[in-house]
């Protein structure tokens, strides 16, 4: 009897593990199917007239109203907002990477006993909720604008303030992930480069950065996704609608729906906001997952 029990227990455990794995796979694929169906539904409604949306909300369009996209770009201000968003995201992410890559390498390779506490401070910065920054952010923005207008330039663009906060709030995550990725690279490569006569900066630029390309790409893409979808900072700091980003312009477009009832244009605006990031993640999604696994796990 004891032998049968010993033989039966692993079998039961294996069966339970197989069942749990099956349930998880089914759940994940079900979640993927729901999200894909939602994307298709949004796209179909973006090329329908408002009457067609109410008459046939779940089916394909009877007539393809491609003019909804032109309406969303022009009458709702999404065209100007798209330019603002692209410029803000590109400039902010470029500055983030220019600061975080050398900082992470220095903490991973060149830091002494102080490197560990500094990395811990960066990781602690990721845990501070946004609500804790909201009021100080507004006060800093007002003070900075007043100082620049009265003492320096005579004018100030609040989008510059937004970019500064984008960089400041994104640096903790970027440095933390890249430190782990640089630590995963073999130190023998730096020693071989030093034997060849390369200095620290040349080793960093020509050896370590190319080897860390996967991790740098991961952090870049995640920052692009995060900043593209950011809404609250722009709502707090940018009162001028002509300077706002896509997400805020889409909110304004939605608030105008009570007067226009242009539901097809609204869905087209959602597609304009969402589609670039969906396509970006489909393009580099596997590389992002690989980079996160290699970096954070170290």
pTM greater than 0.95: no
Q: What is the pLDDT of residues 241-282, one digit of tens each?
A: 888 899 998 888 888 776 777 888 888 889 999 888 888 878
Q: What is the pLDDT of residues 196-226, one digit of tens each?
A: 777 777 878 888 888 888 888 889 988 999 9
Q: Say what the pLDDT of residue 30 is.
A: 92
- Residues with Cβ within 8 Å of residue 187, at least 6 apart in sequence: 109
What average pLDDT does range 120-143 have in this prediction?
A: 83
* pLDDT higher than 70, residue 178: yes
Report the CATH fold assignment for 77-296.
Answer: MetI-like fold (1.10.3720)
The residue extents of the domains of the chain are 2-46, 77-296
The least confident of 35-44, 81-90, 92-101, 107-116 is 107-116
Contact 81, 244 (CB under 8 A): yes
Which class for 115: exposed (0-12), middle (13-18), buried (19 or more C-beta within 10 A)?
middle
Give SS3 for 63. Answer: coil
Q: Which of 270, 217, 245, 237 is nearest to 88 (CA)?
A: 245
User: Which of 18-27, 125-134, 192-201 is predicted most confidently?
Assistant: 18-27
């Amino acid at each position: 009897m004891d032998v049968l029990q010993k033989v039966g227990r692993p079998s039961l455990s294996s069966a339970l593990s197989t069942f749990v794995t099956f349930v998880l796979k089914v759940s994940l694929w079900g979640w993927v199917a729901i999200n894909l169906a939602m994307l298709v539904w949004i796209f179909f409604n973006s090329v329908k007239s408002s009457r067609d949306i109410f008459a046939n909300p779940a089916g394909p369009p009877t007539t393809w109203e491609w003019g909804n996209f032109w309406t969303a770009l022009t009458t709702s201000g999404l065209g100007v907002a798209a330019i603002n968003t692209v410029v803000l995201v590109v400039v902010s992410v470029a500055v983030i990477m220019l600061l975080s890559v050398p900082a992470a390498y220095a903490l991973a390779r060149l830091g002494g006993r102080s490197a560990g506490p500094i990395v811990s401070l960066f990781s602690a910065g990721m845990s501070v909720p946004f609500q804790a920054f909201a009021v100080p952010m507004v006060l800093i923005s007002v003070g900075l604008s007043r100082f620049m207008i009265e003492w320096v330039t005579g004018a100030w663009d609040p989008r510059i303030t937004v970019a500064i906060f984008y960089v400041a709030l994104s640096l903790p995550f970027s440095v933390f992930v890249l430190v782990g990725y640089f630590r995963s690279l073999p130190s023998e490569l730096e020693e071989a480069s030093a034997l060849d006569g390369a200095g620290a900066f040349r080793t960093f630029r020509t050896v370590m950065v190319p080897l860390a390309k996967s991790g740098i790409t991961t952090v870049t893409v995640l920052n692009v996704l995060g900043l593209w979808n950011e809404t609250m900072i722009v709502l707090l700091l940018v009162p001028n609608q002509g300077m706002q980003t896509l997400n805020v312009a889409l909110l304004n477009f939605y608030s105008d729906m009570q007067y226009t009832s242009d539901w097809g244009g609204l869905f087209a605006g959602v597609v304009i906001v969402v589609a670039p990031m969906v396509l970006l993640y489909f393009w580099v999604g596997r590389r992002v997952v690989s980079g996160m696994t290699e970096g954070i796990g170290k």
